[in-house]
Amino acid sequence: MGVVNLARVDQRLIHGQVMLTLSKRAGVNSLFVVDDAVAQDKFMKNLYKSAGARTGQKTIVMTEEKCKYYWDEFKFKEYSCILITKTIRTIYDLVTYGIPMQELNIGGIAQQAPTDIMANKAVYLNLADAKLLKDLNENHGVSDIYFQSTPAAPKTELKSVLAKFEL
């Protein structure tokens, strides 16, 4: 059975040195990019597969539904992956569907509205996403949720970000 070694939300998906450094984690042998638009665009899919290949890891680009199917049918085979999405909602949907993950890194989300709150230099969060993260942490076994744009950057823990929303 496979395992999600690390889940990451980053609107850039795979980018440069971040994925290279993260992919060197012990036991990781693949990158799963889960994004409907990218998976359905042949050019973008090949672009991300090529970027992922530079890490030395097998890179699989799939839709959210394909990811759920791949879990149901194969339990991710023997892959120990970093699962990457553009949105917190996608991670939330995968976890509540039944795909287990314990560590979630929020790496890059641009500000979408004036009411979004800055979690760190690279991450803005809205109230709806903050509530989803709180639920993942309290009710769905995602025990380690933190905000960190690059592996060298300091981590901001979920608890301190939720306090900004008074959650």
Q: What's the pLDDT tens digit per position in 92-134? A: 999 999 999 999 999 999 999 999 999 999 999 999 999 999 9
| CA–CA separation, 80 and 114 (whole Å) | 38
- CB burial readout 26-46, b (16+ within 10 A) else e: eebebbbbbbeebbeeeebbe
Rounded to whole angstroms, how far apart are CA atoms 33 and 82? Answer: 8
Domain range for 57: 3-164
pLDDT in tens, 49-81: 998 888 889 999 999 999 999 999 999 999 999
Distances (CA, A) of 117 to 51, 85, 132, 151: 31, 20, 15, 22
Kindly tell me if the per-residue pLDDT of 12 is higher than 80: yes
The domain that holds 87 is classified in CATH as: 3.40.35.10
Task: Report the predicted TM-score, pTM, of the whole model to 2 decimal places.
Answer: 0.95
Specify the DSSP element, H or E, that contains 88. Answer: helix 88-97
Total domains in the fold of the chain: 1
